[in-house]
Homo-oligomer: A and B are copies of this chain.
């Protein structure tokens, strides 16, 4: 019988990768994190759930998920480490406060039409996007 796997896990398998314990653990950490996580945070959470999972596998999984466009590394303010965001439907949008670094998520971006226009005009095939606005949040205005 087919087991219960998250849709993202299915995508992993559909792409021809094995659903290993290490990968499923990293994925569930990301899914339960609800937002922007650094590799250090992922490492810590993974280690908390199963300390036998090695660092290298976590990084390999992050790279794999990135290659499959399941997550996307993003830079928020500090250098040295990207934060990873899940790309729920192949896209992601947020506002980053340039003063306090708070991240404000928002829904719909109306970029579908723009994507369609670009695909036609530039002969490309788009599969996802990231939209970041920078400015001051309500608390910092």
Binding site for B on A (CB under 8 A): 59, 62-63, 66, 69, 72-75, 77, 79, 82, 95, 97-98, 104, 106, 109-111, 114-115, 118-119, 122-138, 141
Contacts and interface: CB of A to CB of B under 8 A. Distances in A.
B132 A129 contact: yes
B98 A122 contact: no
A104 to B, nearest CB: 6
Nearest to A102: B124
A125 B106 contact: no
A135 B141 contact: no
Please tell me how many copies of the chain the complex holds: 2
B109 A124 contact: no
Contacts of A66: 77, 79
A60 to B, nearest CB: 11
A39 to B, nearest CB: 8
Contacts of A118: 95, 106, 133
Contact of A69 (B95, B127, B130, B134): B134
Given A75-B74, A106-B122, A134 B127 contact: yes
A58 to B, nearest CB: 12
Given A73-B79, A95-B124, A122-B138, 10 more contacts: A75-B82, A95-B118, A104-B122, A115-B133, A124-B137, A126-B133, A126-B134, A127-B134, A130-B130, A130-B134
